[in-house]
Structure 1
Amino acid sequence: MDTAMRRNRGVEEGRRAAKKVLIVYAHQSSGSFNAAAKDAAVKVLTAQGCTVEVSDLYAMKFKATATAEDITGEVKNAKHFQYAEETKLAWEAGKLSADITEEQRKLTEADLIIFQFPMYWFTVPAIMKGWMDRVLTLGFAYSPEKRYSQGVFKDKKAMLSFSTGAHESMFSATGINGDMNVTLWPLQNGILHYCGFQVLAPQIFWAPSFIPTEARGTMLEGWRTRLQGLLGEAPLSFTPMDCFDREKGFQLKPEVCEKHAAKEFGPTVGTHLGKPLPPNNQMKAGV
């Protein structure tokens, strides 16, 4: 099957598989590059027949802090308040605050979630981290039994789409900012994959503020092209949970270690067995 046929097949499969998309968007300006990237996603995905919903966090004045105010009524233990446990009980009892409940509704209905943002201090903006802290509550988004490859959202896809303030070369294995694959591991593995999402490769817009207008237009056109087949893309690779021994503190099983013993690279960026990191493990599927 040639490349064009595979791409078309992916587009058609994606259209059938995912019809509802949630874009969690964090930028203060409607004239920003991130706003243009968000608008492009809405337009292209809607044209494919998707229902697209946008959570514009700054426009919503979304509360970033995880506090007892996120629970309506009394908490179980006000003296020694534990956010995760208290919000789990509130979720089970239907006593989470209305803003959290609404975002959880959107997330429950979505087949694909796109996080659109400018990278701040090597991670998401505080308002988006607050969305993750407050919306992805214990019980609703994960549990000790339901996480990673066995996670709650294993039938959903999620991805990061973001701009950087530095050029791609600076985020390389020899660059001053370090390997972008390492930077992305906590976000993609520790949040998205932890909740079970199939994580699509990130869409990275390298330093749009420092390139000519025409180059920014080319970036956006590349995003529009990717969006045409986005819903049919294969996810990034993570080590399945059943490869770890629960009885031994979730360590890789001996047979898994043996399987990788003769390989040049470790399995993933985080679980690398002391070997060189696999190239682009957090940036391209099937690498």
Structure 2
Amino acid sequence: MAGKKVLIVYAHQEPQSFNGSLKNVAVEELTRQGCTVTVSDLYAMNFEPRATRKDITGAVSNPTLFSYATEVYEACKRGSLARDILDEQKKVQEADLVIFQFPLYWFSVPAILKGWMDRVLCQGFAFDLPGFYDSGFLKDKLALLSVTTGGTAEMFSKTGVSGDFRYFLWPLQHGILHFCGFKVLSAQISFAPEIASEEERKGMVTSWAQRLKTIWKEEPINCTPPWYFGQ
């Protein structure tokens, strides 16, 4: 939809990877719709994943016993977070939809993306206490995980060796995105592209592009424990 703004947070080392293809087709399709698309290519940016004292500019409130959460919260209120955090928060704040494109690492996100979440989605910006889940500060935005796996769809089934893929979505979609207020769209899971045929990989890319054509009409999932564990 013309006028919509999309942020793609992209975490893969190789531009010519399958993840790179999924990112590229998303940029192409959403731009074709008239959306403004911004990509945070974390590896290309050499994004700092570590949460440290350097995330606060100026003095900290308690230099003798450093509490990252406390100091970042205070720095957020003062506007004295590190420049790279502020830049990413501005992108999130402007976005109507945030897409996270990444390969599944150990049932989770790559370290560089986890670091982005740790540092960017801080208290005071994405949530507060109270002010989380349905009251999270990003409640007017959509979020979507586009994930590639090493295992097959069969492995990530209820009877598969890895269990239902919804299980690994729980901490990411519910514990991070929903906690910050995002309305979460169903994840796009591309199963085992490395062992798929060229035709199958092309089909996965096409499926993603087709879905994006109507992405703005989708309803968010019911992000509650029964959606993940009660089916």
Deviation at 1:116, TM superposition (A): 0.2
- Structure of greater Rg: 1
Q: Which amino acid aligns with 2:48?
A: K
Counterpart of 1:267?
226
Q: Which amino acid aligns with 1:164?
A: T
Is the Cα–Cα contact under 8 Å of residues 101 and 145 in structure 2 kept in the other structure? yes
Is the Cα–Cα contact under 8 Å of residues 12 and 43 in structure 2 kept in the other structure? yes
Matches within 5 A, 1:73-112: 73-112=58-97
Deviation at 1:150, TM superposition (A): 1.4
Counterpart of 2:204?
219
Q: Which amino acid aligns with 1:203?
A: Q
Counterpart of 1:173?
158
User: Alignment partner of 1:170: what SS?
Assistant: coil
Matches within 5 A, 1:159-170: 159-170=144-155
Q: What RMSD over aligned residues (CA atoms) do the two structures have, in Å?
A: 1.2
TM-score normalised by L of structure 1? 0.79
Structure 2 distance, partners of 1:184, 1:157, is 16
Structure 2 distance, partners of 1:30, 1:238, is 32
Q: Which amino acid aligns with 1:188?
A: Q
Count of aligned pairs between the two proteins:
231
User: Alignment partner of 2:227: what SS?
Assistant: coil
Q: Does 2:18 align with 1:66?
A: no
Percent identity for Structure 1 against Structure 2: 53
Deviation at 1:278, TM superposition (A): 2.9
Counterpart of 1:278?
230
Deviations 1:110-166 (A, max 9, x none): 000000000000000000000000000111001112110111111100010010000
Q: Does 2:96 align with 1:137?
A: no
Deviation at 1:268, TM superposition (A): 3.5
Q: Which amino acid aligns with 1:278?
A: G
Counterpart of 1:256?
none
User: Alignment partner of 1:168: what SS?
Assistant: coil
Q: Report runs of 4+ in structure 1 exceeding 2 Å deviation.
A: 266-269
User: Alignment partner of 1:174: what SS?
Assistant: coil
Of the three residues 185, 188, 210, the one matched with 2:170 is 185
Of the three residues 137, 153, 174, the one matched with 2:138 is 153
Structure 1 distance, partners of 2:217, 2:136, is 21
Q: Does 2:113 align with 1:128?
A: yes
Query: Unpaired segments of 5 or more residues in structure 2?
Result: none
Deviation at 1:93, TM superposition (A): 1.0
Q: Does 2:219 align with 1:234?
A: yes
Structure 1 distance, partners of 2:34, 2:59, is 44
TM-score normalised by L of structure 2? 0.97
Is the Cα–Cα contact under 8 Å of residues 184 and 223 in structure 2 kept in the other structure? no
Deviation at 1:80, TM superposition (A): 1.7
Q: Which amino acid aligns with 1:152?
A: F
Query: Unpaired segments of 5 or more residues in structure 1?
Result: 1-14, 240-265, 270-276, 280-287
Q: Does 2:203 align with 1:194?
A: no
Q: Which amino acid aligns with 1:150?
A: S
